[in-house]
Chains A and B, each alone.
Chain A
């Protein structure tokens, strides 16, 4: 089975800190995604990547950046953490055949609290 691993389950950071959330998948998937999940708002796409060094903005990219230097790793960066970035962050990956779409495999999530 595909495994998507997020490096931290819980993080507490201070306002203004630069925060790195790491995600690694072990099945050579091309596509990787970062979502945040908030009560009543569901999953909102922050950034995604369809290839190494490629990145695309999702629906709520403000305050975030990403890095994909290797195919298996997709990092989410909070440049200057703010309290409104307190959330559950979910990483996902997929590898659909060309022209198709298939479901994603998700990691277990990182619950980030910014104080």
Chain B
């Protein structure tokens, strides 16, 4: 079945470093991808999305890269700050039946000062 996975369950970085969070997806027909950030005790918050007609999309301090050839998605956070510490989820759209998002299990980003 469809699945979205993450390479690393926990990523530890120093404040000011760039962070890269990776995600592998299995459905080659998926054409929409999204990253969410979830801080402790809160619901997931939208960070950035990308459609399959793009390879790269930039936001404020964040960049999402999409490699459809190897079905890989990454989230890059520039100049990581302590406030970026959270769990990050990728999701892809289900292309079967009613379109809905399929979520990965999440990567915890820990930023130390």
Contacts and interface: CB of A to CB of B under 8 A. Distances in A.
A92 B105 CA distance: 17
A48 B42 contact: no
Contact of A48 (B41, B89, B93, B100): B100
B87 to A, nearest CB: 10
A103 B43 contact: no
Interface string B59-99: 00000000000000000000000000000010101000011
A105 B101 contact: no
Nearest to A41: B105
Contacts of A92: 43
Contact of B46 (A35, A48, A96, A105): A105
B44 A101 contact: no
**In the complex, which of the residues B49, B93, B101 has the most CB atoms of chain A within 10 Å of its own CB atom?**
B101
B105 to A, nearest CB: 4
Interface residues of B, number: 21
A35 to B, nearest CB: 8
A96 B45 CA distance: 17
A101 B101 CA distance: 8
Interface residues of A, number: 23
Interface of B: 32, 34, 36, 41-46, 49, 89, 91, 93, 98-101, 103-106
Given A43-B89, A48-B98, A103-B49, 18 more contacts: A4-B43, A33-B100, A41-B105, A42-B106, A43-B44, A43-B103, A48-B100, A50-B98, A101-B32, A101-B93, A101-B100, A102-B32, A102-B49, A104-B46, A106-B44, A106-B45, A107-B43, A108-B42
22 contacts: A4-B43, A33-B100, A42-B89, A42-B103, A48-B100, A56-B98, A90-B43, A90-B44, A96-B99, A101-B32, A101-B100, A103-B34, A103-B46, A103-B101, A104-B46, A104-B101, A105-B46, A106-B36, A106-B44, A106-B45, A109-B42, A109-B43
